[in-house]
Amino acid sequence: MSDVQQQPDWWQASDGRWYPPQGQAAPAPVQSAPPWPGGAQGPPGSGPPVHGWQAAPPATGRRPQPLGRGVVVAAVVVMVAAFLPWATLDGLVSLSLAGTEADGVITLVLGGAAAVLGILRALGMGRWTAIIAVLIGLVILLIAIVDIADVGSIADLGVATASVGIGLWVTLVGAIAMVATAALAIRTP
């Protein structure tokens, strides 16, 4: 083996070095490792390059987005809040209204849609999932604000004392969290 050709019958290997003909004793040429499935240069998940090996990129080219999980958590909070009391009326008879007896049905469905979008974003789908989740969160936020105002207007009638239930406050907080995490998920690649 040599860096220059010693005899006319020497051959040049892929490593750029010259070797004598097969009949003479010489070190075997360096063989490259066989490629891994998917064209990767190393075992999947092997981390930084080690001895020239490199980890395989994700097969889909998508990277998981942890902020998508935040959207899912906020959506679940909104969905649970739909079953909680949204208003309590105290007059001749005490009455508690769950969200599912009013606009909570809408927030339940929208929360489910946002949860699906959050899962898709967490799996690395495009930014469009986060954009739609922001819009859904804004609609839920608007519903919560309007319903809080409606409960206050019932109390102003003087027929009964009305108070906003825990479900509406949880819906409001969940919607704010959904908008915030989805907005951040838009900004991450």
Q: Are residues 158 and 123 part of one domain?
A: yes
167 with 128, same domain: the answer is yes
Q: Residue 36's pLDDT is what? A: 52
**Rounded CA separation 134/184 (Å):** 10
**C-alpha distances in angstroms, 93 versus 88, 152, 153, 167?**
11, 18, 19, 21
**End-to-end CA separation in angstroms for the chain:** 50
DSSP string across 85-116: EEEEEESSSEEEEEGGGTTHHHHHHHHHHHHH
* Inter-CA distances, 15 with 18, 22, 34, Å: 9, 17, 16
Query: What domain range includes position 175?
Result: 66-187
**Domain end point (choices 55, 80, 98):** 55
Q: Is residue 60 part of a domain?
A: no
User: What is the pTM (predicted TM-score) of this model?
Assistant: 0.62
Q: What is the pLDDT of residue 62?
A: 64
pLDDT reported for residue 57: 46
Predicted local confidence at residue 72, as pLDDT: 92
| Same domain (yes/no): 48, 74 | no
**pLDDT values of the chain reduced to their tens digit, one per residue, 189 residues:** 677 777 888 878 888 888 887 755 555 555 555 555 555 455 555 555 444 444 444 445 566 677 888 999 999 999 999 999 888 877 666 677 788 888 889 999 999 999 999 999 888 888 889 899 999 999 999 999 998 888 877 655 566 677 888 999 999 999 999 999 999 988 876
2 with 18: CB under 8 angstroms? yes
Does residue 88 sit in the same domain as residue 166?
yes
Same domain, 102 and 25: no
- Contacting residues for 175 by C-beta, under 8 A, at least 6 apart: 74, 78, 137, 138, 140, 141, 144
**What is the distance, to the nearest Å, from the Cα of residue 87 to the centroid of all Cα atoms in its chain?**
34
Residues 129 and 175 in one domain: yes
Assigned domain for 93 exists = yes
The token pair that represents 48 in the structure block:
């930084």
The answer on 90 and 39 residing in a single domain is no
- The reply to whether 18 and 92 lie within a common domain is no
pLDDT at position 110: 95
Q: Are residues 183 and 132 in the same domain?
A: yes
What local confidence, expressed as pLDDT, does residue 157 receive?
Answer: 58
